[in-house]
Structure 1
Amino acid sequence: MLFKVEPNFSEKVANDFLPVELERQTVDYVDSSKRFYQVSRDFSRQYAHIYSARLNEYRNVIIPIVRKKWSSHYKILKLCELREKNEKCIVIGTIFKLQELKPSILRELSEQLEIIPQPARTHFVHDNDSLVLEDELQRIKLIGDSIDVHQVVTGVVCAVLGSEDEDGVFTIEDVCWAGCNIQKPLPKLSNDRYIVLLSGLNMASKKADNLFSLHLLLEWLSGISGTSQYQEELSKIVRVIIAGGVFASHSDENILSESDVIASAEAADAFAAAVSSVAPLDLMPGCKDPSGIMLPQKPFHYCLFPKAIEYKSFHRVSNPYECDIAGFTCLGTSGEPIKDIMRYSNVNNALDAMRSTLKWRHMAPTCPDTVPCTPCVDTDPFIIQNCPAIYFSGNCEEFVTDVYKGDEGQYVRLVCLPDFSVSKTMAVVNLQNLECYSMKFS
């Protein structure tokens, strides 16, 4: 195991530090992000289409789950079909959260409204927040204790069991979420195989300690450290994934200018080329990187990495990103959807937000309401089609990991990746047993 310290390490002979030739271990790899690359980018269309596509796709998913949970005793109706008051039924729709503190362009026009500008907020939850359920034609207000208004966000599709009262308000008795999709059987590996996950390199930073940590990381990946036995373990690293924040991280409050990109592009290219020369590298953009801000973000332009693109092991990938590594489905984002869920709810840590997205079967429910995304027409690319074995989120506050276990035996390794430029920490996942560790370079 990569982090196992042998008790007799001090007794090792000097021969253990002699140079040895090792080959990097390889595994099968498939980029499964086609739906993110080929998403429609017709900006003449309205955003209502993505909600319609989301709801239509979820109906096919939720109806069998509803029948299994509540049998066929209750009718499944659309909102326009609610004619009998106090008749218990099932309605499938999209949750919309009415929030008093939600940013509004009208509030921003403080001079015209003669209002004193308020300090910028980072959390928009208020005690008076309420929920409505929408479908293609209309909406209805929801009340009841089955759904905690502060634990959900706009854009989540669900089925609710209840009835409409005389005031046109729907009282919920129970709720059914889409749930985590069925997971394909996890492969069984005979040997250790590692994936390195990190985020927030912040190459535009001028701080010496950041560059020092990056050099330590590069030497570690290259196997220029430890005994020959330890180097053999390092050769089992089969892939490196950098989840956004390459040029500027989320924690960096400065806005990246064109001159900053130009100044740091050479360093970012040199680092990517150095990593790609020793291991396969997948490079994702983030919200502050020189890539379109709308999700799904397209890969970095190749002209930013003239040296790195010479290596076949260098891959510019999308955000979100999904791939298959040795038969394990790996899915993740650079952290924008998870941060937004925490911003508009009382879900106060990234792990809980990630668990919720698996329960809702949607990695970015607040797109396009509060997270910018392209106006998709025919499909919603953010629906989690395949239950991942490894699910990561970049640019989190700290390194945290846990296992999500679904109702049908799903086993998902959750990984929150901290900002490397601040924490100097990255994550390593062992594909043999899906155990996860952190390593610090400082």
Structure 2
Amino acid sequence: MDGMEIYGEKNLQRKQSLYHSLDEKFEIRTEKYKGQQYSQIYFARLHNMRNLLYSLVGKWKPHLPVNTVLGLEEGKECIIVGTLFKHMKLKPSVLDEYSKKRSAVPLMEPHNFMHPDDHLILEDETGRVKLAGDVLAPSVFVTGIVAALHGKETGDGDFLVHDILEAGLPPQLPLPSGLKEDKFVVFVSGLSVGSSMSNPLQFQLLVDHMTGHLGNVKEQSMASQIVRVVIAGNSVEIPLGILNGQNLVSKDQSKLSEPIKELDILLTQLVAAMPVDIMPGPCDPANYSLPQQPLHRCLFPGAAVYNTFVSCTNPHLFELDDVRFLGTSGQNIDDLEKYSEAKYKIDFLERTLRWRHLAPTAPNTVGCYPFTDRDPFFIESCPHVYFIGNQKKYETRLVQGSEGQLVRLICIPRFCETGVAVVLNTRNLECHTLSFSTSLDS
């Protein structure tokens, strides 16, 4: 189409942007499941983070020695660096649940497992020590975070924490200064095509708006400034009962394929007009463990013939006109909500940035591939936009780091429940929502 589209009676040129996928770090190409132990990913995480924290300790507490857990001496102040482990009284045991009942439904219900008796332990290669004091609130932290702690060993063998050093926001490439025109990225998640809550007319309104087939000349002009659509997971919903390993009868086969066919029709309309990134989510036909691999192109025979159709990993990392985006379909943040507490969901996003880790609870409570030589969830470079999909409501925040980093955080609501998509302007990182309703009362 060469970027030229017709909206109403006026010819408008859809704006273009330079796209660069950085998903390679999340792709699983040659790795195999050959009995690898999950300890390797923890070792890789501790190695990366410890080197980083050691470089920061000199400015933080230059007068204190750095010790290992085994090298602690009672009453002597020092700094130790290690991985936090959170002992939780209410944390479910998958083996216990499995022994009670084999089921095709998820074993863990999505509620919070916090308890007043929860406590933190710090672990390195030499040993582990229980942490004491009121500096570290167990409700804020989770298993898998690497931090530096200032304190001293007590007579009880605990480590009394006086202060904590987190890695903080990673270094960030400056926002490109040459962006002088508005270009928009639309985020949508939780389409859940095939679910009882999905509304095909609502989906069609979304597609027609973005492709410029709805609204007046002004709205169509804004639609021409949309340079990319990112679909952040849970695009279809397939009944769990169908996915229990039993042979499918013909009527169940249609239940399995119809939602995907319907999604392909919508995607084909979109990719005919603009570039679209689609990420897998926990309900999509993709691998369960993070990082989820791209949805196979054969699922979308209509959309896949367009070079504007991009099937991505989850997490998804990319650049548009040198503006860096990082996001997930929500599993990493939803899991933090089960094992820690925050006033707002978006607080969890900010914490993961300051911990420099996308999914600290993987592999403990979030399924992930047993990498042996790296931890792909380590955040090396600070994104300009950090988003998560499949949330109850829209939230956003602009976060500033100590070295001038500026990050737009976005919680994308489930579209099938809210009818809301999120629009971001790459020129200034401002964002707003688009709401679609088929109700006469709205």
User: How high is the TM-score relative to the length of structure 2?
Assistant: 0.90
> Counterpart of 1:131?
120
Q: How well do the aligned residues superpose, as a CA RMSD in angstroms?
A: 2.0
| 66, 76, 79: which one aligns with 2:69 | 79
Give how far 1:206 is off: 4.8
Residue 156 of structure 1 contacts residue 365 of structure 1 at CA under 8 Å; is this kept in 2? yes
| 2, 11, 22: which one aligns with 1:21 | 11
> Counterpart of 2:340?
345
Q: Does 1:384 align with 2:379?
A: yes
Instruction: From the superposition, tell whether residues 225 and 119 of structure 1 become closer, same or farther in structure 2 (CA, over 3 Å).
Output: closer
Give how far 1:231 is off: 1.6
**Residue 349 of structure 2: SS of its match in structure 1?**
helix
| Greater CA drift, 349-358 or 419-428 | 349-358
Give how far 1:392 is off: 0.3
In 1, Cα distance between the equivalents of 2:312 and 2:351? 25
In 2, Cα distance between the equivalents of 1:64 and 1:119? 40
> Counterpart of 2:306?
311
Once the two structures are superposed, what CA deviation does each residue of 1:285-313 show, in whole Å capped at 9, x if it has no partner?
A: 00111000000000001110111110000
User: How high is the TM-score relative to the length of structure 1?
Assistant: 0.90
Instruction: From the superposition, tell whether residues 436 and 132 of structure 1 become closer, same or farther in structure 2 (CA, over 3 Å).
Output: same
1:295-306 correspondence to structure 2 within 5 Å: 295-306=290-301
State the identity %.
Answer: 38
Residue 142 of structure 2 contacts residue 361 of structure 2 at CA under 8 Å; is this kept in 1? yes
> Counterpart of 2:33?
42
Give how far 1:108 is off: 2.3
> Counterpart of 1:363?
358
> Counterpart of 1:437?
432
What one-letter code is carried by the residue in structure 1 that aligns with 2:188?
Answer: L
1:196-215 correspondence to structure 2 within 5 Å: 196-207=186-197, 210-215=199-204
Residue 190 of structure 2 contacts residue 389 of structure 2 at CA under 8 Å; is this kept in 1? yes
Once the two structures are superposed, what CA deviation does each residue of 1:132-165 show, in whole Å capped at 9, x if it has no partner?
A: 0011232110011221110111101100011112
| 209, 227, 230: which one aligns with 1:238 | 227
Instruction: From the superposition, tell whether residues 20 and 123 of structure 1 become closer, same or farther in structure 2 (CA, over 3 Å).
Output: same
Once the two structures are superposed, what CA deviation does each residue of 1:55-109 show, in whole Å capped at 9, x if it has no partner?
A: 00001111122211112x1111221222x21111111100000001001135426
1:42-441 correspondence to structure 2 within 5 Å: 42-71=33-62, 73-82=63-72, 84-108=73-97, 122-188=111-177, 189-207=179-197, 210-248=199-237, 257=243, 259=253, 260-441=255-436
Give how far 1:261 is off: 3.0
Equivalent pairs counted in the alignment come to 415
Gaps of 5+ in 1: 1-16, 113-117
Give how far 1:262 is off: 1.3
In 1, Cα distance between the equivalents of 2:100 and 2:167? 45
What one-letter code is carried by the residue in structure 2 that aligns with 1:159?
Answer: A
Give how far 1:348 is off: 4.5
In 2, Cα distance between the equivalents of 1:111 and 1:216? 46
Gaps of 5+ in 2: 1-6, 102-106, 244-251, 438-442
Residue 279 of structure 2 contacts residue 329 of structure 2 at CA under 8 Å; is this kept in 1? yes
In 1, Cα distance between the equivalents of 2:345 and 2:369? 24
In 1, Cα distance between the equivalents of 2:366 and 2:277? 24
Instruction: From the superposition, tell whether residues 120 and 334 of structure 1 become closer, same or farther in structure 2 (CA, over 3 Å).
Output: closer
Give how far 1:414 is off: 0.6
Instruction: From the superposition, tell whether residues 267 and 95 of structure 1 become closer, same or farther in structure 2 (CA, over 3 Å).
Output: same
Residue 92 of structure 2 contacts residue 108 of structure 2 at CA under 8 Å; is this kept in 1? no
